[in-house]
Amino acid sequence: MSINSNWKSQGFRAQAMSTPTRGNVASPGAAFNAKDGPDHLLVLVHGILASPSDWNYVEAELKRRLGRNFLIHASSCNTYTKTFNGIDGAGRRLADEVIQVVQKTETLKKISFLAHSLGGLFARYAVAVLYSPSSSSSDSSDNYVEPTNAKSEKSSTTRGMIAGLEPINFITLATPHLGVRGRWQLPFLLGVPFLEKLAVPVAPFLVGSTGAQLFLTDGKPNRPPLLLRMASDCEDGKFISALGAFKCRILYANVSYDHMVGWRTSSIRRETELVKPPRRSLDGYKHVVDVEYCPPVPSEGAHFPPEAAKAKEAAQNTPSIQNTLEYHEIVEEEMIQGLQQLGWRKVDVSFHSALWPFLAHNNIHVKNEWLHSAGVGVVAHVADSLKQQESSPCIPASL
């Protein structure tokens, strides 16, 4: 079934910008005054087994730093065990929630996403649901492979829209963009070697269909896993086009001490591209150690070659560390090929000098202000990135 929802065929862009009931709701706060309301929607998306309260510190800090032009909305549609029901289902729920917010706020013109961990994958799926191409861009291909260098860096007039709004920033914090491998990637397994060997077959029982999708073993052997499809424009959705519509895409990644999401998958890098990071923080942003802009790389995009289908069948039927590793290496390379068609700013974070470095996964977004306060410098960097993007086409590499 195509990801194109009914609202697209009903002209959602026009509906989102001119719904008659908006602005006429009596309830205070139900709609913003068109004269002085916010024009930039920032959607915060939490991760696995979490809730909007994970963003309490971030939300307060961003409101203080960004001012009234931003409407900051912490998503609440995928709380706690709802995160187990699949990335696709969570992504659709998130898209529905964003539509409701947009319809209630008539002043909105721009949209950005800030997502932590698994929430980054929910957001990637949601923006494909919410994506509508501009009249000057092609939307005719439903092939699995995106054959061009693809929609890499387009002007604002050709990038397309997200929920009828101009897409500005897509930012993820410690998100497993390439899925996960067994070792220490699921906290439920506690790092026990015997359990880690069983990670692939055990994951769906512990975290539902989300677990199979993260380990790339969802679906039949001859069908590409969801995360690979999400590295392309395909019949499920225009995933690359939707990401490419954003003016800026930023990846924040923990270089060490994150035992849920590794550096490689959160920064969309190959193992050979992981070099020793600087140990000194950037001035004014404690624990942010490096910023690199990676321009688009021309490629034929993501494929699902026959050897991948064979490796997937082996990983599903006779799971072992060797079978899983061989399969992941094939599929991860294809995902990188697809995602690197877009330019990314990659921000490396290191909590090696923090009091509790092993809390890196939650430090990066200050889940709890008392326990995870080491991440306040990262939040400051995110806030300044968002603020600078308001008036600049790109974020300086030195930020």
Q: Domains plus CATH for the chain? A: 40-134+159-217+235-297+342-391 (3.40.50.1820)
CB 387 within 8 Å of CB 399: no
Q: Residue 131 half-sphere exposure, CB side, CA atoms within 13 Å? A: 28
What are 289's two structure tokens? Answer: 């150690």
What are 112's two structure tokens? Answer: 């950005």
Per-position DSSP letters for 163-215, written without gaps between them: TTBEEEEEEEES--TT---STT-SGGGTT-HHHHHTHHHHHHHHHHHHHHHHT
Q: What angle do CA 314, 319, 323 make, to 5 degrees?
A: 60
Rounded CA separation 37/355 (Å): 41
79-133: pLDDT as tens digits:
989 999 999 999 999 999 999 999 999 999 999 999 999 999 999 999 999 999 9
Q: What angle do CA 72, 78, 80 make, to 5 degrees?
A: 115
Rounded CA separation 74/324 (Å): 36
Bridge partners, residue 233, by sequence: 238
Q: What is the pLDDT of residue 207?
A: 63
Q: Is 112 helix (H, G, I), strand (E, B) or coil?
A: strand
Mean pLDDT of 17-29: 35
Bridge partners, residue 301, by sequence: none
Mean model confidence pLDDT for the chain: 82
pTM of the model: 0.84
130-151: pLDDT as tens digits:
999 976 544 433 333 333 333 3
End-to-end CA distance of the chain: 42
What are 311's two structure tokens? Answer: 């490796």
